[in-house]
Amino acid sequence: MASAGAPFDAVLFLSFGGPDKPADVRPFLENVTRGRGVPPERLDDVAQHYLHFGGVSPINRLNLDMIDALRAELDSRGRDGLPIYFGNRNWHPLAGDTLAEMIADGHRRILVFPTSAWGGYSGCRQYHEDIEKALGSVDGLPADVVLRKLPQFSEETEFRGAVADAVRVGLARFADGPVPRLVFTAHSIPESADRAAGPAADGGRLYSRQVRAASAAVAGLVGVDEFDVVWQSRSGPPQVPWLDPDICDHLRALHADGVQRVAVCPIGFVSDHLEVVWDLDSEAADLAEELGMDYVRVATAGPSRRFVALVADLVERYVDGGGDLTAMGCGDNGGICRPDCCVPVRRPASTRV
C-alpha cells in the first residue's frame, strides 16, 4: 500500500528500451521475449525490421529528447532541483543500473514515469515488475528507498488533448475532397491477456476499454463522428487469438467499402518507435498505396510540448508527497494498485517456445 507524506527527490523515466546498433538486436529481442511464447519465425521477422533501420530503434533517442524537454518544462515551473534519470526494461541503460546510480547519488524517494498510458500487463503491471526487479538487483539497498509509479494516464485531459492536436494536424494534410476515415491503432495483445487485465468486477479488458475510450474522446475533440479502433504488431502463434482487426486487414475492408482516404493515429504509442515506423509507415502505408488509398499517418503525441506538460503535471501532482495513491496503476516498489489488477496470464505450455 502506498503511503503519502514525504516529498520525492528524483524522477526515473522508465521505458521499454531498444537496440542502438545491429549487434544489440538479437540480445534485445531475447530480453523482450524471454519466456513469452513468441515463435522464433516472428523473432526473425522482427530482427529484420530493426536491421532494415540499421539495427537502431528510434525509441532511445526519442526518450532522451523527451527527458530534455521535461527537464526544461520542470525548470520553467521552478522545479529545477529535481533530477531526471533514464532506465529501461529491455535495453541499456537498464532500470536496475540506473537505480543503483540514483541510490549512489543519494536519492531515496523516486517517482517513476513509465512511457505507457495504459493499464494491462504490458502497459502497467510489467512496469511494476521492472521496478521490483530493479530494486532486487541493487546491492545493499537502503531500507528507506521508495519508488512510486505514476498512474495510468489515458484518461488525462492533456493526454487526449495532445493526441487530438496531432490528429488535427494530420487531417489538415488532406486536400479538399472526400472526408478521410480516422483510424486509431494500438498494440494488439492476446485476448486472454486483455480479459485478465483490470478489476474483475469491471469485467477485465482494462487495456482495450481504455484504448477505445481515449480514441472516442479524441475523435470527439476533433469533431469526427465516424472512426475505428484497430490493432497492430501482433505476435504469438497464429492459433492464439489476439485483439483484432489488424490495421492491414482493416485497410482492405475499408477499401472494399469504398473508403478512399485514411488518417491513422497510433494512439497506443507514446513516440515513433520501431513498431510505428515499420508497421504503419512501411507495411500499412505500402498497402494503402497498393490499394490506391490516400494515407496519412498522424504523429505520436510524446514529443509534443503538450505531452511533456502532461508528464510535468503528473510529476508535480505527486512530487510533494500528495496525489491520489489509489489512482489506477499507482503503486510503491512494484506493489500494484489493487490485488486483482492487470494480472499476468499463464500461457499454456503449447504456446511457449
Q: Which residues bind ligand HT9 (CB under 6 A)?
A: 16, 18, 29, 32-33, 36, 38, 42, 46, 57, 59, 115-116, 118, 122-123, 187, 189, 233, 235, 268, 273-275
What count of other Cβ atoms lies within 10 Å of the Cβ of residue 228? 19
What angle, rounded to 10 degrees, do the helices at 305-319 and 157-172 form?
180
Nearer to ligand HT9, 278 or 295 (CB): 278
- At residue 158, φ and ψ (nearest 5 deg) are -70, -30
Nearer to ligand HT9, 105 or 249 (CB): 249
Instruction: Identify the DSSP state of 242.
Output: B
Evaluate whether 261 touches 294 at the Cβ level (below 8 Å).
Answer: yes
Does 121 count as an annotated binding residue?
no
Nearer to ligand HT9, 70 or 171 (CB): 70
Helix H, strand E, coil C: the string for 280-312 is HHHHHHHHHHHHCCEEEECCCCCCCHHHHHHHH
> Cβ 327 to ligand HT9, closest distance in Å?
18
Nearer to ligand HT9, 96 or 237 (CB): 237
Evaluate whether 249 touches 196 at the Cβ level (below 8 Å).
Answer: no
Closest to 54 (Cα-Cα) out of 277, 286, 279: 277
Q: Which residue bears the cell 478489476?
A: 199
Grid coordinates of 249? 486487414
> Cβ 268 to ligand HT9, closest distance in Å?
6
Instruction: Say whether 229 sits in a helix, a strand or coil.
Output: strand
Does 275 count as an annotated binding residue?
yes
Name 226's Cβ contacts closer than 8 Å, sequence gap at least 6.
181, 182
Does 127 count as an annotated binding residue?
yes
Cα–Cα distance list, 347 to 74, 192, 257 (Å): 42, 9, 37
Nearer to ligand HT9, 206 or 293 (CB): 206
> Cβ 33 to ligand HT9, closest distance in Å?
5
Distance, first Cα to last Cα, the chain: 36
> Cβ 44 to ligand HT9, closest distance in Å?
10
> Cβ 88 to ligand HT9, closest distance in Å?
10
Instruction: Identify the DSSP state of 152.
Output: P
Which residue's CB atom is positioned nearest to ligand HT9? 235
> Cβ 133 to ligand HT9, closest distance in Å?
15
Nearer to ligand HT9, 237 or 335 (CB): 237
**Binding residue numbers for Fe-coproporphyrin III:** 57, 127
Which residues are documented as binding site?
A: 57, 127, 187, 275
Going by the annotation, the residues of the binding site for Fe(2+) are 187, 275
